[in-house]
Chain A
Amino acid sequence: MATDAMTQARRGRSVEGKPKFAVAFTALFMFILYVPIVVVVLFSFNSKKSLSVFGGFSTRWYQQFFHDEALLSSLRASLLIAFVAMLASIVLGTMLALALERVSSRPARITGTVALIPLVTPEIVTGVAALLFFAGLGMKLSLVTVILAEITFSISYVAVIVRGRLSSMSDEVEEAARDLGCTPFQALRLVTIPTILPALIAAGLLIFALVFDDFVLAFFTTGVDPQPLSVRIYSEIRMTISPAINAVGTCMLLVSVLLISLSLIVPRLLGRKDSSLDLISGG
């Protein structure tokens, strides 16, 4: 049954004969990928104030973190920034994606391209630009300016993800809604949006994770107090070496992993296939 074996191979896309080297290499790659992360987590539980010798298990750095009002206010600030930026960019990014999928007049196409530029612009450029913009307007740097900058960056992200999802949705579905008595807006509200909702949720979770962790934009646009968590960590890293940073880092890691896992799972729970994994690896 040679053909059986072949279809089997095709299904799994395993071309017979695994190159052992490639497999070993990938294993090593994955290992190195996780080394720094594991080390951060491990040493966040170190009882010693050392980053190279593990003295024993302790939660002292977490206690220190949870009693450090400055760090806690930074944590709250970061959560707030991520949450507001997520909501705003989901709304604006989805509007952009919907419009761009359907209009293709020249101004619309230009807008579409412009909306993608932030994705291929290094964050430092966006950061500098935002800083000068707010300075030019005479705006005092604060969480508000961070949020505005993060929204700008995230809109493009959301637009790309949502456009990807929309393009795999048949035009006929929206036409069917029109056919059954919907105005264009009702078709959008009652059919298109609910259809892409899992993708929107996944995108929202991704954006939250990205913004929560973001350093560069926040660094350029934040005021003094409270600072986003990543900015606070940056200044602490440069001043001292303290395992308390490991505890903070571990907490941030936890938030990210939680969000990413959710974005992988939620669409599946809703019975749809479009999880963030496809959004990331497909795009």
Chain B
Amino acid sequence: MTDQISTPAGTENVTSETPAIQLIGLTKKFGDTTVVNNLTLDIRRGEFFSLLGPSGCGKTTTLRMIAGFSDATQGRILLGGQDVTSVQPHKRNVNTVFQSYALFDHLDIEGNVGFGLKRKGLDKAEVARRVNDMLELVDLQGRKNAKPRELSGGQKQRVALARALVNRPEVLLLDEPLAALDLKLRHRMQVELKEIQREVGITFVFVTHDQDEALTLSDRIAIMNNGVVEQCGTPEDVYERPKTVFAAGFIGTSNLMTGTYSAGAVTVAPGIRIELPGHPELLDGSTASIAIRPEKIWIADFEPDMVRVHGQVAATVYHGATTQYLVNISPEIQLTVVEQNLVRSRHDDRWSDGDSVEIGWKPEHVVVIG
């Protein structure tokens, strides 16, 4: 059945438009449990692509199939237009940065980074030159002769990255490479990673369960859940226009509401109609799910074109840069509102719990899901 979904581009007409990776109906079963389910995905050349999803959703399994460490139960994998489904890992032009780094303990940093080049049979001088360049790129030229156990976590991570990148693969697979680092180092490495990717222009497939990481780094994100891709798009797409309830809930927080659509508005609770202009595809009387991001809801200083709703403050949570209000607009519906703390400080609370308030948002910020 997978063959009907798409006919892969033949190897004879590979163009710059050919995706770096095509997954076609990729399925992985462990016994009776399906871990990756009929995954179809194109990853473009030179893009920073993230697989984002909760723990156990099948990200690592997908990556392992692309690298060739795990057999696909069904479906096909194309790299640069070529079917590699049955090709052994060492013959795939793909390199991996492992979550555990998996550095070779018995070799020094130079030996680790030069390992792949030596396998390719490059001559010594060329290997040394490229290893040097790469160590410079990851800022480790001074530690050439150190053994992996002498390095810090962040340094090991950079060695793992250098060891993979130095081979100039068509595709670099990274499995939560930053997960083991502390927050500060992680942020620094994120910046470095992005810079390096821009510099070398290699396709990155980046696995993470950290949504902020995915949003900051990626050109496109695939949100995975239970072995399927819920949504695939640019960070803006998946954040601003979530297509499924899961996507809306997984990235950031979202105010989800469901109601009946009629005459350009959704009735989410008796007497509460939320205007929804410009959705000709919705039929009167149909059920619609909508989402509004908390930071898109204002709690004062409204602009003229805003939709306004009355509510009651249920709780106020101070977060430093922002303050979060929970506002009940009906007995069943509680909306989260996040306000930037631009001027106020902790103690001049404008509203306390139980106060009646008015909240508002621009109609175009209401997203229809599904």
B147 within 8 A of A: yes
Segment touching B, from A33-41, A111-119, A176-184, A234-242? A176-184
B231 within 8 A of A: no
For B90, the chain A residues whose CB sits under 8 A away are: 178-183, 186
Segment touching A, from B14-22, B96-104, B314-322? B96-104
For A16, the chain B residues whose CB sits under 8 A away are: none
Q: Mark B18-41, 1 if CB is under 8 A from A, else 0.
A: 000000000000000000000000
For A272, the chain B residues whose CB sits under 8 A away are: 105
Contact A195 B119 (CB under 8 A): no
A175 within 8 A of B: yes
Q: Which 4 pairs from chain A and chain B are nearest by CB?
A: A181-B119, A180-B116, A172-B102, A176-B102
Q: How far is the CA of A181 from the CA of B115 in the complex (A)?
A: 9
Contact A175 B98 (CB under 8 A): yes
B4 to chain A, nearest CB (A): 33
When C-beta atoms are compared, the residue in chain A nearest to B121 turns out to be A181
Other A-B pairs, 18, CB within 8 Å; known A175-B67, A180-B115: A170-B100, A175-B89, A175-B96, A175-B98, A176-B104, A177-B115, A178-B68, A179-B96, A180-B164, A182-B90, A182-B119, A183-B88, A186-B90, A186-B119, A191-B106, A194-B107, A195-B104, A197-B106
Chain A interface size, as a band, is 20 to 34
Q: How far is the CA of A197 from the CA of B105 in the complex (A)?
A: 11
B69 within 8 A of A: yes
B220 within 8 A of A: no
A271 within 8 A of B: yes
For B147, the chain A residues whose CB sits under 8 A away are: 271
For B100, the chain A residues whose CB sits under 8 A away are: 170, 172
Q: How far is the CA of A44 from the CA of B163 in the complex (A)?
A: 59
Contact A271 B167 (CB under 8 A): no
For A170, the chain B residues whose CB sits under 8 A away are: 100, 102
Contact B167 A180 (CB under 8 A): yes
Interface of B is mostly: loop
Interface of chain A residues 182 through 241 with chain B (CB within 8 A): 182-183, 186, 190-191, 194-195, 197
Q: How far is the CA of A271 from the CA of B68 in the complex (A)?
A: 33
For A175, the chain B residues whose CB sits under 8 A away are: 67, 69, 89, 96, 98, 102
On A, residues with C-beta under 8 Å from B are 170, 172-173, 175-183, 186, 190-191, 194-195, 197, 271-272
For A191, the chain B residues whose CB sits under 8 A away are: 104, 106
Q: How far is the CA of A281 from the CA of B106 in the complex (A)?
A: 24
Given contacts A173-B104, A271-B147, A178 and B98 within 8 Å (CB-CB): no
When C-beta atoms are compared, the residue in chain A nearest to B163 turns out to be A180
B224 within 8 A of A: no
When C-beta atoms are compared, the residue in chain B nearest to A271 turns out to be B147
Q: How far is the CA of A181 from the CA of B68 in the complex (A)?
A: 12
Interface of chain B residues 117 through 151 with chain A (CB within 8 A): 119-120, 147, 149
A-B pairs with beta carbons under 8 Å apart, 22 shown = A172-B98, A175-B69, A175-B89, A176-B102, A176-B103, A176-B104, A177-B115, A179-B67, A179-B89, A179-B90, A179-B164, A180-B90, A180-B115, A180-B116, A180-B119, A180-B167, A181-B90, A181-B116, A182-B90, A190-B115, A194-B104, A271-B147
For B103, the chain A residues whose CB sits under 8 A away are: 173, 176
For A173, the chain B residues whose CB sits under 8 A away are: 102-104
Given contacts A181-B120, A182-B119, A176 and B98 within 8 Å (CB-CB): yes
For A181, the chain B residues whose CB sits under 8 A away are: 90, 116, 119-120, 167
Q: How far is the CA of A182 from the CA of B88 in the complex (A)?
A: 10
B95 within 8 A of A: yes
B214 within 8 A of A: no
Contact B102 A195 (CB under 8 A): no
B94 within 8 A of A: yes
B66 to chain A, nearest CB (A): 11
Q: How far is the CA of A170 from the CA of B88 in the complex (A)?
A: 20
Contact A180 B95 (CB under 8 A): yes
Q: Mark B56-97, 1 if CB is under 8 A from A, else 0.
A: 000000000001110000000000000000001110001110
Q: Mark B303-335, 1 if CB is under 8 A from A, else 0.
A: 000000000000000000000000000000000
Interface of chain B residues 168 through 211 with chain A (CB within 8 A): none
Q: How far is the CA of A175 from the CA of B119 in the complex (A)?
A: 15
For B107, the chain A residues whose CB sits under 8 A away are: 194
Q: How far is the CA of A180 from the CA of B94 in the complex (A)?
A: 9
Query: Which one, B68, B96, B106, contacts A176 given CB within 8 A?
Result: B96
For A186, the chain B residues whose CB sits under 8 A away are: 90, 119
For A271, the chain B residues whose CB sits under 8 A away are: 147, 149
For B96, the chain A residues whose CB sits under 8 A away are: 175-176, 179
When C-beta atoms are compared, the residue in chain A nearest to B91 turns out to be A181
Q: How far is the CA of A190 from the CA of B90 in the complex (A)?
A: 14
B161 to chain A, nearest CB (A): 12
Q: How far is the CA of A10 from the CA of B106 in the complex (A)?
A: 33
B151 to chain A, nearest CB (A): 13
Q: How far is the CA of A195 from the CA of B103 in the complex (A)?
A: 10
A92 to chain B, nearest CB (A): 23
Contact A179 B94 (CB under 8 A): yes
Instruction: Indicate the member of A175, A180, A183 with the most B CB atoms within 10 Å.
Output: A180
For A194, the chain B residues whose CB sits under 8 A away are: 104, 106-107
Instruction: Indicate the member of B98, B105, B120 with the most A CB atoms within 10 Å.
Output: B105
